[in-house]
Structure 1
């Protein structure tokens, strides 16, 4: 066991004062950060009233919206006429077309109609005097022969009785609304209805094999147009999914992001040389340009889009202009900081040979900054593809506006899902391509 005397101990303390004479910040800094984080979290919970927010939120709507992203419904209505007959009606623009004859609807010999909601476990039988709803292992008759619908027997938990109608909730499969003179059924299906051909198409409701046969070798449906051209027109001009308009708007979004980023980089590049202190030794000009960059990027791209849509009207021009202004500020700051951090030795060496300023910049600066500048520009371009979608929602054109219009109806969530998936695919492609280019320029391997 080694014994350290007082002199040796004093010598060690003198040599390593950071371990023996630590400041208050060093001793309690970590604890203070932890306490500050905890206090801020408690403040945020109080300020945003998170308990009330979570208790009053409509969490059930999340499941409804998600189900509507991947499904569609058919809504037949059964009207009980005065003579006891049942008239079947479908909404206008029904996914089944103008003359539907679904196999899940059966006309019984006694004049009643049975609708299979989900196989045999959930069904509805409509007659002139009563409607029988079968679900969850029980059949519940609803008498409609009197002035108001009346449930015969005990009312199950999945059925709600109102003054003039009875609502049966059958879960994801759909629901049934029963009144005295009509029964409305909502039957839900997994998938996207009429995604390829709409109800007005000549190929609507035909099997895949028959469609392929018609396109490849079948007789012309329209004498003046080939079946292949007709099929493409029907897909492109699908009235329900609007593929042509969606893809056109998506291309507009990509062009907006590319054009705005390109113009912003071309404008920021020369300005950055004037803003860099080590390139242009003019303090006043440096500060003016740097504050100009701060101003352009401090105003969010969305705000620029709002200004420009008021000036030029809605459309991709306003979107491209908003990206251009925001990117001029962002790239100008990045470029100027990159120039201020270059190694001055190559530049000074070329300058000592008596070369002109242009040649000094070309051979002393450009080789150092080009990979970094291109990498930063590619990243901003990739980011602006996402940003262009958001600013489109305020009228700046592109797919963002179409996405917002679909969301506002609160009924076309499958169209919203379609456009969101397209946006994700485009962002993924641009992200992958941008990463590959950046790593190649920087001489590193992509992971």
Structure 2
């Protein structure tokens, strides 16, 4: 074992003071950051009152909204007439069309009507004197002969009794509301109703095989138009899903993102050369342009869109202008920083030959900066496809406005899901294409 005397120890301490004489920051910096993070977390919990927020949140609405994204409901109403007959009515814009005859609604010989909600395990039988609700393994009669609905026997937990109404929750399959003279049923189906053909279409409610046969070789439904053209028109002009309008608005969003990014990059490119200190040795001009870039970036794209919709009215022009202003600031800053970080040796070498300034920039600067410019521009273009959707919600055109209108009704969540899926597909395609182009231009492999 080697013994180190005091002189040797002092010499080692003097040579490596960072190990033997550590500062307070070095000794307690990590612990201080941890404590500060915990304190900030506690402050955030108190400031936002998170316990109360979570306790009072309507979590049940999440399941309701998500179920409406992937399903639709049919709402038949049964009215008990004075003579004891039962009249079946549907809402004006029922997914079943104007003259529905669903196979899950059966007219019984005794005059009652049975509605299958979910096979035989959940059903409703409506007669002039009572309604029988079968669910969760039991059948519960509700008597309506006395003028007010009355549950016969004890009411189960999934049934709520009021003075003039009885509500039965049948889970995801639907629900039923029973009053003295009418029974309202909500029956839920998985899928999107009438996605291709609405009730006004000549192909509505036809089997898929029959539709294909009509399009391929069937007799013309309209003498002056082929069945293929008629089917396309019916799909494109579907009144419930509005495919034509949705796809047109989606194309507007893509054009807004492309046009705004293109114009922003064209404006930012020459300004970046004047803002770069090593290209334009004018401190005043450098600072003016950099603060101008900061101003354009500091005002969010959404705020620019609000300003421009006031100036030019709602539409894609305001959206493209908002993206243009934001991207001029963002790309101007990125381009100028890229220019300030170039290697000056190629530039100085070309300058030494007496070449003009344009040629110096072309051969001494551009080969270094082009991969950065293209990469950043493509990334911003991809990002602006998403941003254009958001600014559309404030009137700047595109699919964002269409999406916001569907959400405001609080009833067309399947249409919301349709548009969200389209947006996700577009963003995925643009992300993939942008990554491939960036890697190709920069000479790297995409992972």
Match of 2:136 in 1: 136
* Structure-2 residue corresponding to 1:74: 74
Deviation at 1:162, TM superposition (A): 1.1
- 1-structure distance, mates of 2:81, 2:340: 84
- Give the equivalent residue in structure 1 for 2:361: 361
For residues 323-362 of structure 1, what are the structure 2 equivalents within 5 Å? Answer: 323-362=323-362
Per-residue CA deviation, residues 286-327 of structure 1 (Å, 9 max, x unaligned), is 000000000000000000000000000000000000000000
Q: CA deviation at 1:383?
A: 0.3
Aligned to 2:32: 32
Q: CA deviation at 1:81?
A: 0.4
Q: Matches of 1:343 and 1:242 in 2, distance apart?
A: 55
Match of 1:199 in 2: 199
- Runs ≥4 in structure 1, deviation > 4 angstroms? none
C-alpha displacement at 1:148, in angstroms?
1.2
Determine the C-alpha separation between the residues in 2 that align with 1:430 and 1:15.
57
SS in 1 for 2:44: helix
Q: SS in structure 1 opposite 2:123?
A: strand
Give the alignment of 1:15-414 within 5 angstroms. 15-414=15-414
Q: CA deviation at 1:183?
A: 0.2
Deviation larger for 435-444 or 76-85: 435-444
Provide TM-score, normalisation by structure 1: 1.00
- Post-superposition offset of 1:128: 0.3
Query: 1:156-176 CA distances to partner (integer Å, 9 max, x unpaired)?
Result: 000001121100000100000
Alpha-carbon deviations, 1:25-50, whole Å to 9, x = none? 11111000000000000000000000
Q: What whole-Å deviation, never above 9, does each CA across 1:335-382 have from its counterpart, x for those lacking one? A: 000000000000000001100000000000000000010000000000
Q: Does 1:417 align with 2:410?
A: no
Structure 1 residues 4-13 or 216-225, which shifts more?
4-13
Q: Aligned residues, how many? A: 447
DSSP 3-state at the match of 1:84? coil
Structure 1 residue 445, shift from structure 2 partner? 1.0
Tell me the alpha carbon deviations over residues 413-447 of structure 1, each in whole angstroms, 9 at most, x when there is no partner.
Answer: 00000000000000000000001111111111111
C-alpha root-mean-square deviation of aligned residues, in Å?
0.5
* Structure 1 residue 7 displacement after superposition: 1.5
Shift of 1:113: 0.1
Residue by residue, what CA displacement relative to the aligned partner does 1:35-91 show, whole Å, maximum 9, x if unpaired? Answer: 000000000000000000000000000000000000000000000000000000000
The whole-number CA distance in structure 1 between the counterparts of 2:278 and 2:163 is 81
Displacement after TM superposition at 1:17 (Å)? 1.1
Three-state SS of the structure 1 residue aligned to 2:321 is helix
Aligned to 2:249, what secondary structure does the other structure show? helix
SS at match of 1:199: coil
Inter-partner Cα distance in structure 1 for 2:14 and 2:403: 68
1:168-216 Cα deviation digits (max 9, x unpaired): 0001000000000000000000000000111110001111111111001
Specify the SS of the correspondent of 1:186.
strand
How many Å apart are 1:13 and its aligned residue?
Answer: 1.1
SS of 1:145's partner is: coil
Equivalents in 2 of 1:153, 1:168: separation in Å? 15
For structure 1, the residue ranges without an aligned partner over 5 or more in a row are none
Q: Tell me the alpha carbon deviations over residues 377-424 of structure 1, each in whole angstroms, 9 at most, x when there is no partner.
A: 000000000000000000000000000000000000000000000000
2: CA distance, partners of 1:11 / 1:373 = 54
> Which 10-residue stretch deviates more, 13-22 or 27-36?
13-22
How far apart are 1:147 and its partner, in Å?
2.4
Per the TM alignment, residue 271 of structure 1 is displaced from its structure 2 partner at its CA by: 0.1
Structure 2: gaps of 5 or more residues: none
Q: How far is 1:5 from its partner?
A: 1.1
SS in 2 for 1:414: helix
Q: CA deviation at 1:16?
A: 1.2
